[in-house]
Amino acid sequence: MDAIATRILLPGVIFLPGQDAFDGRGDCIEPGLFIAGEENWFALAAVQRMIEADPPHCFTLFGPTGTGKTHLLKLLCRLWKEIWPGSSILFWNAADFGQGFAEAIASRKLRQFRRKWEAADFLVLDDLQFLPEYPAAQEEFVAVLRMAERGKLRVAVGSRLPPWYDDGFDRRIGAILQGGLSAPLRYPGEDARRVLLRMAFREKSIAITDAALQVFVEEVTGSPRQILGVAMKLRQAVGHGMVDYPIARAFLREYRPRPTATIDRVAKATARYYGIRLKDLRGPGRTRSEVFARNVAMYVAQQLTGASLQQIGQYFGGRDHTTVGYGCRKIETLVRSDPTLRKAIMMIEEQVIPGETTTFSRSAADPVVGS
């Protein structure tokens, strides 16, 4: 990781493993920076690759809502403009691209619409998951990607899910993007959560002990926005008093963010994905496949539901919270180096999160990650 850390040199980004002088408290970090731990090193390396000489023709940044895809894509645009001041950059939302294309056809101004992207050096299309709602615009985007393949421009997209996993996309879109550079972006890991919580508590003038902070680090997961929301609720609950371990525990018993998913939905999606029965996933079975799938389900439940380790353990057969924590940490370690596991977790999450459910092809290839 030391060799990797030395390669992450993005302005506006704090990559924690690369901050040798950083003490981990978050006291000296300015708000508005992108904070990342090892869980997102590849995404940052991919963004950095896009501002180096001869970048790939296409770049896909994918991950759940709230992970910071738009933030990094806008940072990429800003850095691109600084490095190549004379370049033309377009930043579109996929829905705006689709609607604009439909209006151009209706008003017979298609030529004017096309001139915008044909004259661009760099085109960014965010929220690509909305493009299938505009079938005709998909054909237009294929033309954009073909132009990128010929070296006429560079294209970057942000999406909840890689388009080569989504049957709603024109297969040519997935094939071309899969042939470029792609990287997953995940919710903050433990190190990043600790820094973000420190920053959030400091912003709200909340004094907190190290033991209490660790409770929040372990049990408050999700996006940076959700972490800030916890700090706001804590400030309302305790005022200016010191937050110690008992107060942290009491607060978390009373306050839970509204879950975007339930443990039961996570378990059912995991059981479907791995082809095992739900009662076996929740039961005492100790076969390798059952234990692995159960650990995956507990990890995804921790990431998505806002449930405590105790609540997750209770659902999975009354297991102790230390057992749940061990299983989650094991998966968190494996997911950094196992693309097959990353794919599995991403597909399970997309089936669970309301509004983000997608139909998948189990025969789809693993994402291409290269430069």
Based on the fold, state whether residues 271 and 179 are members of the same structural domain. Answer: no
pLDDT computed for residue 21 by the predictor: 42
Based on the fold, state whether residues 178 and 269 are members of the same structural domain. Answer: no
Is 318 within a domain?
Answer: yes
Decide which of 184, 217, 239 is a domain's last residue.
Answer: 184
> End-to-end distance of the chain based on CA atoms, in angstroms?
19
Based on the fold, state whether residues 67 and 161 are members of the same structural domain. Answer: yes
Is 86 within a domain?
Answer: yes
Those residues with Cβ within 8 angstroms of residue 224's Cβ, 6 or more apart along the chain or in another chain: 35, 66, 68, 188, 196
Check if the beta carbon of residue 321 is closer than 8 Å to that of residue 32.
no
Is 202 within a domain?
Answer: no
Q: Is the model's pTM score more than 0.85?
A: no
The 10 Å Cβ neighbour count of residue 337 is: 8
Those residues with Cβ within 8 angstroms of residue 143's Cβ, 6 or more apart along the chain or in another chain: none
The parent domain of residue 62 ranges over 54-184
Decide which of 164, 184, 204 is a domain's last residue.
Answer: 184
CATH code at 125?
Answer: 3.40.50.300
**Residue stretches of the chain with pLDDT short of 70:** 1-7, 18-31, 256-260, 354-371
Q: Which has the closest alpha carbon to 215: 109, 300, 321, 129?
A: 321
pLDDT computed for residue 127 by the predictor: 93
Is 97 within a domain?
Answer: yes
Based on the fold, state whether residues 58 and 179 are members of the same structural domain. Answer: yes
180-205 burial code (b ≥16 CB/10 A, e <16) = bbbbbbbbbbbbbbbbbbbbbbbebe
Is 371 within a domain?
Answer: no
CATH code at 346?
Answer: 1.10.1750.10
| Residue in the block written with tokens 């804590």 | 234
Distances (CA, A) of 133 to 93, 137, 343: 13, 9, 24
Sign of the alpha-carbon torsion through 155, 156, 161, 162: positive
Is 12 within a domain?
Answer: no
pLDDT computed for residue 89 by the predictor: 96
Both tokens of residue 9? 């040199």
* Farthest-apart Cα atoms in the chain, separation: 67
Based on the fold, state whether residues 281 and 165 are members of the same structural domain. Answer: no
Is 197 within a domain?
Answer: no
Those residues with Cβ within 8 angstroms of residue 306's Cβ, 6 or more apart along the chain or in another chain: 220, 221, 222, 226, 256, 257, 258, 259, 260
Based on the fold, state whether residues 169 and 58 are members of the same structural domain. Answer: yes
Based on the fold, state whether residues 161 and 270 are members of the same structural domain. Answer: no
Distances (CA, A) of 251 to 204, 257, 262, 325: 16, 12, 21, 20
Check if the beta carbon of residue 35 is closer than 8 Å to that of residue 10.
no
Query: What's the rounded Cα separation, in Å, for the pair 233 and 258?
Result: 13
Report the domain count for the chain: 2
Check if the beta carbon of residue 73 is closer than 8 Å to that of residue 156.
yes
The 10 Å Cβ neighbour count of residue 361 is: 10
Decide which of 184, 201, 236 is a domain's last residue.
Answer: 184
Query: What's the rounded Cα separation, in Å, for the pair 70 and 365?
Result: 26
Is 358 within a domain?
Answer: no
Based on the fold, state whether residues 179 and 77 are members of the same structural domain. Answer: yes
Q: How many CA within 13 A on the CB side of residue 92?
A: 21
pLDDT computed for residue 363 by the predictor: 27
Secondary structure (H, E, C), 292-321? HHHHHHHHHHHHHHCCCHHHHHHHCCCCCH
Based on the fold, state whether residues 72 and 173 are members of the same structural domain. Answer: yes
pLDDT computed for residue 87 by the predictor: 93
Distances (CA, A) of 31 to 20, 21, 197, 286: 20, 19, 12, 45
